[in-house]
Amino acid sequence: MSNINHVAIIMDGNGRWGLKKFKSRNFGHQKGIKTVEKIIEVSIKKNIKFLTLYTFSTENWKRPKYEINFLFKLLEDYLKKNLDILLKNNIKFTVLGDINKFPVKLRNSINNAIKLTKKNKKLQINLALNYGSKDEILRSLKIIIKKKMKVNVKNIQNNLYTSGMPDPDILIRTGNTNRLSNFMLWQLSYSEIFFVKKLWPDFNKNDFKKILNQFKEIKRNYGKI
């Protein structure tokens, strides 16, 4: 039986869900937050230590400006309203990616949440923000070259955003799309991948628990017999 330390999720389908309900894509993003809350709740109960959520990719800048602004406001509001909950539940909040392009108010909210929760130990939530895996690997190599270190697997890993974390045991992608979309390409080498047809706002606690139970029955050989 396999232990679960780290779950990564590509939360796909918010916009499509909103349009399907004859509302806006932004309505779907709002509903998607409710699903995030449910998944956090189950993760705590199941003693998962790391939860990584693909929230805003380097490619998402191509979306309409009004949608990008809405996503930024949604995240800023969420952090302000839920900071006490993160602290109460002993949740550490951190970011994978480069947030320097984000609005100042949002950056301040993110940095404040990181600072205030940095000693929390129950669950670490990593939001992948302005994140692209190819950029992450390139960034790691640039750091290695700058420090005149050897280019090897260990040094590349140590200079990724996920340095010090275990690689994901599980990747879940909702939205009926079967691809990785430039997400954690290095870290997902041996992860078990679950593609789900449901759009993210329809993904529920039972769906998540079912995947966790399925994973526990998998024998992981890492290339060995």
- The tokens describing 36, both together, are 């995030």
**Known catalytic residue at 204:** no
Q: How far apart are CA 38 and CA 111, in angstroms?
A: 24
Q: 6-131+169-216, superfamily in CATH?
A: Decaprenyl diphosphate synthase-like (3.40.1180.10)
Beta bridge partners of 50: 6, 124
Single out the catalytic residue among 60, 89, 155, 158.
60
Give tens-digit pLDDT for 171-217. Answer: 999 999 999 999 999 999 999 999 999 999 999 999 999 999 999 99
The answer for residues whose C-beta is within 8 angstroms of residue 16's C-beta and 6 or more apart is 25, 28, 175, 199
CB-based contact 91:121 (threshold 8 Å): no
3-state secondary structure of 166: coil
Structural contact between residues 107 and 33, judged by C-beta atoms closer than 8 angstroms: no
* Single-letter amino acid, residue 207: D
- 218 pLDDT tier (thresholds 50, 70, 90): confident
Taking the C-alpha atoms of residue 59 and residue 97, their distance in angstroms, rounded to an integer, is: 12
User: In this predicted model, what pLDDT tens digit does every residue of 19-78 receive, in sequence order?
Assistant: 999 999 999 999 999 999 999 999 999 999 999 999 999 999 999 999 999 999 999 999
The H-or-E segment that residue 123 falls in is strand 123-131
Q: Is 12 a catalytic residue?
A: yes
Q: How far apart are CA 209 and CA 199, in angstroms?
A: 17
Helix (H, G, I), strand (E, B) or coil at 192: strand
- Could you tell me if 200 and 13 are in contact, meaning their C-beta atoms sit under 8 angstroms apart? yes
The answer to whether residue 1 scores a pLDDT higher than 60 is no
Question: 5: exposed, middle or buried (C-beta count within 10 Å: 0-12, 13-18, 19+)?
Answer: middle
Instruction: Pick the catalytic residue from 12, 14, 26, 82.
Output: 12
Q: Give the list of residues 6+ apart from residue 91 with CB closer than 8 angstroms, or none.
A: 40, 44, 85, 117, 120, 122, 123, 124, 125
pLDDT of residue 76: 96
